[in-house]
Amino acid sequence: MLRSTPIVLLFVAGLAAAEPRRLAIVVGNNAGSGELPPLRYAESDAGKFARVMAELGSVATEDVVLLQGRHGDDLERAFASVRETVRAEKPRGTVLFFYFSGHSDGESLEIGPDRLSYVQLRALLEGTGADARVAVVDACKSGAGLRAKGGKATEAFTLQLHDELQARGEVFISSASDVEVAHESREVMGGLFTHHLLSGLRGAADANNDKSITLFEAYRYAYERTLYATGLITPTGGQHAAFDYRLSGRGELTLTSLSAPPARLEVPAGVQRVMVRDLARDQIVAELGSNPTSRELALAPGRYALHVTKDGQTRNARFTLTAGGAWRPEFNDLPAPGPVLQSASRLK
């Protein structure tokens, strides 16, 4: 059996000595138990989530464990490692992020051929002893996880989140209700909820333009954008994210900081839609819709393709970002239209 190993990522935001240590367990499984067809993007979504947390979320590379296509015993080892780290960091405090993308039957997560019930998952999270725990599950019927240990779905925007230095407890976020399917899209090359969550964490959710994305901002942005996108392709009114919130403390929990990003893209004003593709990985890494609250996206240095729609016209361009660099294109200076991205939807 393969061992769980930390991913090696660049451009990690530093941790101040007084701040709690941030840890992340990130899981993606395209293939589940075999009862459903394999997913296309669950494992790549996990990789994208891990990179965002390392680039912008103040999670050190050695504190990110990425499990792609692994089994249940790999996940158990990851949780055991986190428990040891939490015990060693008691005076400092810890915040644990857990992310899963894959199949779910409404009772369990499918970790390859293995199953992990939502009750077991929440027991594992609590058993780490981390001061604050934030779990995100992008899977069909993932709202069932809110019922585990007596949790329940909360109204969409009554969330009040707390300062990471004093927060105690857990937040569980599901990409869909306990009776809804979760959609992945060939157009955005990922699960729709994860896609909008990560776009938000890269800057699209910065509602007050303070260069910090709080958990409330990220959740609200992903909720609204996912509901809108899935409402266009489903007859039942779209996919509804939900959360169970049990934190005590004060202030707000910041997920990502954009004050000193590895590199930046400032999208043209007045556009209806912007899509950014990472050319090296052939992945869509961010999207902005019409009337964005922020026009800046934090990205890693690298080569990208930009697809911009404004006033019914689409312009495409390729660009390169260097470390600490920024690109600020004007719409009229972008090249004429290229190939159009094709869209398709699939259930998780």
pTM, full prediction = 0.88
**The domain at 265-347 falls in which architecture?**
Sandwich (2.60)
Helix segments in 17-110, DSSP class H: 42-56, 72-88
Cβ(308)–Cβ(331) below 8 Å: yes
- CATH no. for 21-257: 3.40.50.1460
User: Residues with Cβ < 8 Å from 203, sequence gap 6 or more?
Assistant: 213, 258, 286, 294, 296, 297, 298
What is the H or E stretch that residue 319 is in?
Answer: strand 313-321
- pLDDT truncated to tens, each residue of the chain (348 aa)? 334 444 333 333 333 445 899 999 999 999 988 888 999 999 999 999 999 999 999 999 999 999 999 999 999 999 999 999 999 998 889 999 999 999 999 999 999 999 999 999 999 999 999 999 999 999 999 999 887 655 555 545 444 444 444 667 899 999 999 999 999 999 999 999 999 999 999 999 998 999 999 998 999 999 999 999 998 887 777 899 998 877 766 567 899 999 999 999 999 888 999 999 999 999 999 999 887 777 899 999 999 999 999 988 999 999 999 999 999 999 989 987 655 444 444 456
Quote the distance between the C-alpha of residue 41 and its chain's center.
13
pLDDT of 153:
54
Structure tokens at 13: 């935001």
Structure tokens at 261: 């990003």
Cβ(288)–Cβ(192) below 8 Å: no
The ranges assigned to domains in the chain are: 21-257, 265-347
What is the H or E stretch that residue 118 is in?
Answer: helix 118-127
Instruction: Give pLDDT tens digits for 231-247.
Output: 888 777 789 999 887 77
Q: What's the rounded Cα separation, in Å, for the pair 33 and 342?
A: 29
